[in-house]
Chains A and B, each alone.
Chain A
Amino acid sequence: MLNIKNLHVKLEEEDKQILKGVDLTVEAGKVHAIMGPNGSGKSTLSYVLSGRDGYEVTEGEATLEGADILEMEPEERAAAGLFLAFQYPVEIPGVGNMTFLRTAVNAQRKARGEEEVSAADFLKLIRERAKALKIDAEMLKRAVNVGFSGGEKKRNEILQMAMLEPKMCILDETDSGLDVDAMKLVAEGVNALRGTGRGFLVITHYQRLLDHIKPDVVHIMADGRIVKTGGPELALEVENNGYADILAEVA
């Protein structure tokens, strides 16, 4: 599904190398988790994959189902099936959540040559999916993320994911700020999509989320590289011992 090879990324503005050769493959239907110390480059990887400005790829490649995504505009990547749940979802005053989502859904459909979804069908679908995530109708009417609590913002990210039905989902610390019940809801959402052949890259600091979303593979990122890859037990090791042992081992 997602193939990242030897990805090197520096900041456009300064001479600062952030990713220093990332290799990673996420297969369809699998959940990969990435853990790693603050500042190791996890969010940078997610931004580069989704096409945010300010980064320069100096080496390596990234493909989604064989297509070179690094050459695409952000909206093309989205239409190709890539989705990023932001670590810090953006507030957009003046743009209603509902309008935003319908515009996004229809833009993606249009880009893929599919028919737009009718207002009535959309409304039905969003009500149903919002309900599953315990997002009330009032929140759908508000401006995108404006005045949302931290946890509400994260749930709103998952609602967007549920509506857009992407093939490859990157979740950047979606668990942070979620209460225990919300985390279960989010995990249910992920697990439901996982069964239908989607790929997931779940960035997290905590084992907690991984209790609910059993990862197939766990990667440790440090200083711009994947330094260790293992099974779910790797996450438990981090939870219990921190990163010191792992980093010492690979140094």
Chain B
Amino acid sequence: MPHSTAPGPMRPEEVDEDDILPDAPQQVSDHTKEEGKTDMTDSASQSEDSTSEAPRIDVKVEDLFDDADDDEEDEFSGSRVLNPGNESSPPEAPLPCAQSAKYTDPEVMLAFYQRLFPFRYLYQWLNHSMKPSNDFGHREFAFTLQNDAYLRYQSFPTGDLLRREILRLNPSRFEIGPVYTANPRDRKTLRKSTAFRPMAKELVFDIDLTDYDEIRTCCNKANICHKCWSFVTMAIKVVDAALREDFGFQHIMWVYSGRRGAHAWISDKRARNMDDQKRKALAGYLEVIKGGAQSGKKVNVKRPLHPHLARSLDILREHFQRDILEDQDPWAEPEKAERLLRLLPDKVLNDSLRKKWDAAPGRSSVSKWADIDALAKTGASKTLDGRALLEAKQDIVLEYTYPRLDVEVSKKKIHLLKSPFVIHPGTGRVCVPIDTKRLAKFDPLGVPTVTELLGEIDAFDGQTTEESDVKKTQDYEKTGLRPYVEYFRTYVAGLLREEKGVKRERETGNAMEF
């Protein structure tokens, strides 16, 4: 009689709810180590209570195994400071900007939140309306405090209340999660766990240059330069085109992740409402580069090329010539050239290429790429299949240029992603939106750091003698953050305009049924 002898599932009261991890704080940084993305897979139902006094930490075994060592140790890990403002209320007077301070100083962070962070537009962006609604009120925020404690399931009725709490806690960064079916703060009081589910979230994408380490030659790990930033530029172009043309999305915002990548946030209603299965489908549609360290050829696409791939190839071809062959020069050394040969189909042709390249050490990737067609034309191989060669070359272009997305981030509604405009703890740079109309001009190394910005406010205030001018001008307008905030404002206005239209349409549509 299995039903009477089998051990029953653990009853709720047997569960040790107060399971605070004694040695957790040093582990939690793993959560957010990778550019602020967090795997919260099915943690909603087994979460810690983050609203209590002591910060509790939500730990999942897979998170704990996150690679601290694969990611260059974040600079801030050695300088953990307990936040002195933690218990006090927000200061009344504007904080001095403390120009000499380091960006990891809590006062610097607090001044940034107080004077520069665009809470108003962030609220409108997430709320899709000026009027308070559940789109914002039931939205999860997660804070990483200065002592690295991690608070999940924070929620706020309005943007102003979010601002106040951020000024009180002064987190080193924070993340945005889904809109839940109920207020995240109430989740423990709900009778049924099924009553608390993620309901909607922006569709998000994550591009991280560390995923390009096997093909970028200029830098590795957390380092970037202008040469390798072009990988991100290419990725944005390809993904943005597919999202707009194929999926019909219009409200797409790209955000610099503060160091070595970019995030996309898609706010179209249709995108926000997609369930995980549809998110997975969309991610699969975009995913081309597949396989681990041992999987060999990483691009295996069908012919004829799907229109999405044909279009991507058109976008990427010129980048391949300039950004890959010239700037990355990926096949300069003989052993790297072997990698190229392994991706080509004809053994005889490969032999003659190898011979030619052995005779000319240091031959550039540009020349080597040109050699392929040149030798093929001379009839170096009798067995050569021209079509197979062409397709192999297309695959190589894709392998070296096509976006390498971290698709896991896109597949789940419940994933949290670092908020735009927070400060990257490793670089001090602001996670600013990227204007895709000026994509080529975007310079990640020129993005303002928090200390620069605070210095600009001081400089402005010092130069302007008229007291009234200082008052009239908003702080962000005094700084290099201005174009980014203005871009965000315009973008959000467009989103709100459309939401309003959608809503009105729905309301009148309903009215006609009666």
| Chain A bound to chain B | no
